Amino acid sequence: MSIVKDTTRAIRMTLILWVLSAIIYPLVIVVVGQVFFPFQANGSVIQSPQGQPLGSALIGQAFTSERYFISRPSVVEYSIGKDAAPTGISGASNLAPSNPKLIKRIQAEVDQFQKKDISLTNDLVYTSGSGLDPHISVATANAQVEKVARARTLSPDQIRSLIAENTDDRFLGIFGEPGVNVFKLNLALDTLKSSS
Amino acid sequence: MWQGFLQIGLTLLILVAITPFLGRYITRVFLQQKTLLDPIIKPVERVIYGLGGVRAKEEMTDWQYVQAVLYSNLVMGIFVFLIFMFQGILPLNPTNLSAPSWDLALHTAISFTTNTNQQHYSGETTFSYASQMLALGFLMFTSAATGLAVGIAFIRGLTGRPLGNFYVDLTVSITRILLPISIVGAVLLLIAGVPETLNGPVSAITLEGATQYIARGPVAHFEIIKQLGENGGGFFGINSAHPFENPNAFTNLIEIIAMVCIPAALIYTYGVFANNTKQALLLFWMVFIIFVILVGISAVGEYQGNPLVNSILGAEEPNLEGKEVRFGWAETALWAVLTTGTMCGAVNGMHDSLMPTGEFSTLFNLFLQIIWGGQGTGTAYLFIYLILTVFLTGLMVGRTPEFLGRKIEKREIVLASVILLVHPIFVLIPSAITLAFPNTLAGITNPGFHGISQVVYEYASASANNGSGFEGLQDATPWWNLTTSISLLAGRYIPIIALLLLADSMAHKQPVPETAGTLRTDSLLFTSITAGVILILGVLTFFPVLALGPIAEAFKIASGQ
């Protein structure tokens, strides 16, 4: 008798709390998001003038061309390509500081960058946590100014002002680290070209 | 470097500032005193009790309370397991994901029911929006509320009150604490850039013409309760390192405060309940000091970086492997120590790639379980250590051990010992078995000493109901799913049962009047001895593992090989 009573009460409470916390609460937030903050709620997607999504202001992209600033290395290739379809992915190397594979990988990256004459900074050789890190440090961006200026025949000062525009500063000047949003910076470079 | 420590210091200052307010509010909620939200919430609660068949005035005995915890949690676990198994035919599945394997579904259901959120999967590729919202998001509320309820029942018992009614405590934890804070937090996160949508992933054409698949979903509402309830299970595989879960330093600050505010406030809540805020503050600062030391060594380790890499770079640079630029070494180190201390288990950088000092601190937190501690249960464990210290010092000075004017006798010490022994048993024994078969069972991906840490961390995280991991570990196997499930269940429910029995037996004791000969437990001296007991018990039990794992790895890296 008491087992039946206890079980029914547990089932009834489960269902009621489920309706409250798993249906009403999320739907309220979805509605608030879609009605009042649709840009953020849908992933801060940036579109081309034709309406084609180009990426998200919060998610990094991989860049290989000389004409672009390069992003940090990612073990999931920034969720680009067939491996990421259809859901999108994220991931990190999870290599321990003592793992010989980490040292070997970084040595190879360093050799690559030295060949391309890019000066070394730590965020450029260490892979990010998410594999989608949109930022590089200000120093890493500055180190690439000359390269991009040459490839685009722009003045380095013009590019430096774009870097400043696309730098996300610390919160209240205190919390976190400043970072240059590579996708937005490169997009700004492309826009500059098409408008001039 | 000092800028980094300034960030950490200011964050902790915010914590210290809000603790008394939240602590007092939680007390009012559970003593059923008037609060501001009453006019809105009272009618809602009446509906919940009416439909649920709960008589709000009914007091439960210890076994009734235990039964209510177990029955409700079992029903919730089965319900969620079924949602996983049927996700292929349920709606809200934009990428047509099929059901996960039965062992993964079982592990995930147990892991979220026990407030652990250990994940042997990546959210975006495994679970549909229905499973995330209707199953995982649901357990994030109820498992946190279960922990809070048990913590409060324990405090009631210690202070000589009846334990209360589990279903009432469960309900008010959600309606008056978790849900109101979550609604505010979710909207703040949403404004700062965390998505909240039922649309499927975006496929974007990148600036270089390739196709990028951008996972999204109803994240904001999930993210805040994940932090606030010490749950920690990420919507995405990479948790709060993902730019959609934690896009900037502002969201990072909200998530950090959300993760630690309730465990810290509960210590204060005890003080108000016991009418002894002095003791509560002493305990608060004891935990705070141990915590600050752990953050300090971890942060310095990350700041100094990896000497093996620094010699290639030709400069001393912070270790950024598995870290995001926007957080850097300081915010990642602070988060890592907080998330393991509070049993949240969310990460904003990869613990597997932390330097040995960070590895040491995170493991140390998982072993002790009280450097803030899990939702409700962490505070209760703190008092278990206190009771044990009363007993030990009582033996040393030859006085009858008393706590809050109640005698500590054999039954209490047996129950306290059970609570403290469950953890090493369900961490060390399965670790030893798994490590005996390194090639077939363990799934170690980092060689040498770090591999030992990977295995021990996984079981420690399961048994402590934390949920973070050294995620390089290949743990999506039936062996790992089933054995960690045992540690998850044992680490959750055995201590909960023992805590409730202990609380009830304390509540029924005749209070002994305080005399000049009473050993006072609210003095600085006694608190220092408690800290000593905690460290000695923790270190003695787990020191061999710490020596074989992070300490050995630190020496190996320092030797430059």
| Domains of chain B, residue spans | 2-558
The number of residues in chain A equals 196
Asked if the Cβ–Cβ distance from B325 to A26 is below 8 Å, we say no
Q: How far is CA B181 from the centre of its chain?
A: 18
The Cα B440–Cα B436 span in angstroms is: 9
Sheet holding A167-168, edge to edge: A135-136, A179-181, A167-168
pLDDT of residue B165: 96
Residue B175 makes CB contacts below 8 A (sequence gap 6+) with A20, B41, B44, B45, B48
Task: Return mean pLDDT, chain A.
Answer: 93
Q: How far is CA B379 from the centre of its chain?
A: 11
Asked if the Cβ–Cβ distance from B320 to A123 is below 8 Å, we say yes
The Cα B270–Cα B277 span in angstroms is: 8
Percent of chain A with pLDDT over 90: 88
Angle between helices A156-165 and A145-152 (to 10 degrees): 120
Strand partners, B406: B403
Asked if the Cβ–Cβ distance from B320 to A94 is below 8 Å, we say no
SS3 sequence of B145-194:
HHHHHHHHHHHHHHCCCCCCCHHHHHHHHHHHHHHHHHHHHHHHHHHCCC
Measuring CA to CA, how many Å separate B11 from each of B254, B256, B309, B488? 10, 8, 30, 31
CA end-to-end span of chain B: 27
ipTM score for this prediction: 0.95
Contact B47, B296 (CB under 8 A): no
Tokens of B215: 């996972």
What mean pLDDT comes out for the span A30-36? 97
Query: Most B CBs within 10 Å: which of A4, A11, A21, as the mutation test of the B interface?
Result: A21
The Cα B459–Cα B486 span in angstroms is: 10
Measuring CA to CA, how many Å separate B221 from each of A65, B182, B226, B252, B454? 39, 7, 9, 15, 31
Please list the pLDDT of chain B residue by residue as tens digits (561 residues): 899 999 999 999 999 999 999 999 999 999 999 988 899 999 999 999 999 999 988 999 999 999 999 999 999 999 999 999 999 999 999 999 999 999 999 999 999 999 999 999 999 999 999 999 999 999 999 999 999 999 999 999 999 999 999 999 999 999 999 999 999 999 999 999 999 999 999 999 999 999 999 999 999 999 999 999 999 999 999 999 999 999 999 999 999 999 999 999 999 999 999 999 999 999 999 999 999 999 999 999 999 999 999 999 988 999 999 999 999 999 999 999 999 999 999 999 999 999 999 999 999 999 999 999 999 999 999 999 999 999 999 888 888 888 888 899 999 999 999 999 999 999 999 999 999 998 888 899 999 999 999 999 999 999 999 999 999 999 999 999 999 999 999 999 999 999 999 999 999 998 888 887 788 888 999 999 999 999 998 778 999 999 999 999 999 999 976
Query: Most B CBs within 10 Å: which of A3, A6, A15, A17, as the mutation test of the B interface?
Result: A17
Other CB atoms within a 10 A radius of the CB of residue B371 amount to 28
Give the pairing type, strands A45-47 and A53-56: antiparallel
Asked if the Cβ–Cβ distance from B350 to A92 is below 8 Å, we say yes
Residue B541 makes CB contacts below 8 A (sequence gap 6+) with B367, B424
**Could you tell me the pTM of the whole model?**
0.96
User: Chain B residue with minimal CA distance to A67?
Assistant: B208
Contact B339, B259 (CB under 8 A): yes
Q: Does B242 touch chain A (CB under 8 A)?
A: yes
Strand partners, A176: none
Asked if the Cβ–Cβ distance from A133 to B193 is below 8 Å, we say no
pLDDT tens per residue across span A110-161: 998 888 777 888 999 999 999 999 999 999 999 999 999 999 999 999 999 9
The Cα B250–Cα B194 span in angstroms is: 11
Phi, psi angle pair for B204, to nearest 5°: -110, 150
pLDDT of residue B516: 78
Question: Residue B83: its chain A contacts at CB < 8 A?
Answer: none
Tokens of B514: 């305080």
Question: Of residues A2 and B163, which shows the higher confidence score?
Answer: B163
Asked if the Cβ–Cβ distance from B238 to A129 is below 8 Å, we say yes
Residue owning tokens 């939680």: B26
Other CB atoms within a 10 A radius of the CB of residue B121 amount to 19
Measuring CA to CA, how many Å separate B549 from each of A142, B21, B302, B369? 40, 40, 18, 19
Asked if the Cβ–Cβ distance from B241 to A29 is below 8 Å, we say no
pLDDT of residue B561: 64
Strand partners, B211: B205
User: Chain B residue with minimal CA distance to A102?
Assistant: B309
Measuring CA to CA, how many Å separate B385 from each of B23, B326, B530? 21, 39, 7
Closest listed residue to residue B135, CA positions, set A177, A65, A26:
A26
pLDDT of residue B560: 79
SS3 sequence of B193-259:
CCCECCCCCEEEECCCCCEEEECCCECHHHHHHHHHCCCCCCCCCCHHHCCCCCCCHHHHHHHHHHH
Phi, psi angle pair for B167, to nearest 5°: -70, -30
Measuring CA to CA, how many Å separate A57 from each of A33, B211, B349, B458? 17, 16, 21, 35
String of DSSP letters for A70-122? -----TTGGGBSGGGTTT---------TT-HHHHHHHHHHHHHHHHTT----H
Asked if the Cβ–Cβ distance from A177 to B321 is below 8 Å, we say no
Tokens of B501: 């029995």
The Cα B511–Cα B542 span in angstroms is: 37
DSSP state at residue A171: B
Number of helices (H) and strands (E), helices first, in chain A? 9, 5
Asked if the Cβ–Cβ distance from B122 to A91 is below 8 Å, we say yes
pLDDT of residue A193: 65
Residue B442 makes CB contacts below 8 A (sequence gap 6+) with B434, B435, B451, B454, B455
pLDDT of residue A195: 55
pLDDT of residue B282: 96
Determine the residue type at A15. L
DSSP state at residue A175: B
pLDDT at A1 over 60: no
Question: Residue A18: its chain B contacts at CB < 8 A?
Answer: 79, 134, 138
B184–chain A nearest CA distance, Å: 10
Contact B105, B84 (CB under 8 A): yes
Q: Where are the beta strands (DSSP E) in B28-108?
A: none
Other CB atoms within a 10 A radius of the CB of residue B287 amount to 24
Query: Most B CBs within 10 Å: which of A11, A19, A122, A132, as the mutation test of the B interface?
Result: A122
